[in-house]
A = this chain, B = another copy of it.
Amino acid sequence: MFLRPIKKYFLSFQSRNVSAKAIVFSNHGNPSQVLQLHNYNIETSPSKPILVKFLASPINPSDINQIEGVYPEKPYFTKDLGTDLPCSVAGNEGVVEIIENLNKNSEFKPGRRAIMKNPGFGTWRTHATANSNDLLFLDIDGISVIQAATLSVNPCTAYCLLKNFYKLKAGDYFIQNGANSHVGQAVIQLGRIWGLNSINIVRNRSNIDKLKTYLYDLGATEVITEVELGDKEFMKELIKKRCGESGISLGLNCVGGKSVLDLARYIKENGHIVTYGAMSKQPLLMSSGLLIFKNVHLHGFWVTKYNKTYPEERLKILNNIITYMKNKSFKDLLCDKVYLDKSMEDLTYMETFKNALENKEKKQVLVFN
Contacts and interface: CB of A to CB of B under 8 A. Distances in A.
Given A290-B300, A294-B300, A295-B299, 18 more contacts: A72-B289, A261-B283, A277-B288, A277-B292, A278-B288, A278-B289, A278-B292, A283-B285, A283-B287, A283-B288, A284-B285, A288-B300, A291-B298, A295-B300, A296-B300, A297-B298, A297-B299, A298-B299
Copies of this chain, complex-wide, total: 2
A302 interface: yes
A294 B302 CA distance: 9
A256 interface: yes
B275 A288 contact: yes
A368 interface: no
B305 A295 contact: yes
Interface of A: 72, 256, 261, 275-278, 283-302, 305
- The A interface, classified by DSSP as helix, strand, loop or mixed, is mixed
Contacts of A288: 256, 275, 277-278, 283-284, 300
A286 B285 CA distance: 6
10 contacts: A261-B283, A275-B288, A275-B292, A284-B285, A285-B286, A290-B300, A291-B300, A292-B300, A295-B302, A297-B299
A299 B293 contact: no
A177 to B, nearest CB: 12
Q: Which 3 A-B pairs have the closest CB atoms?
A: A291-B300, A278-B288, A298-B298
Contacts of A299: 291, 295, 297-298
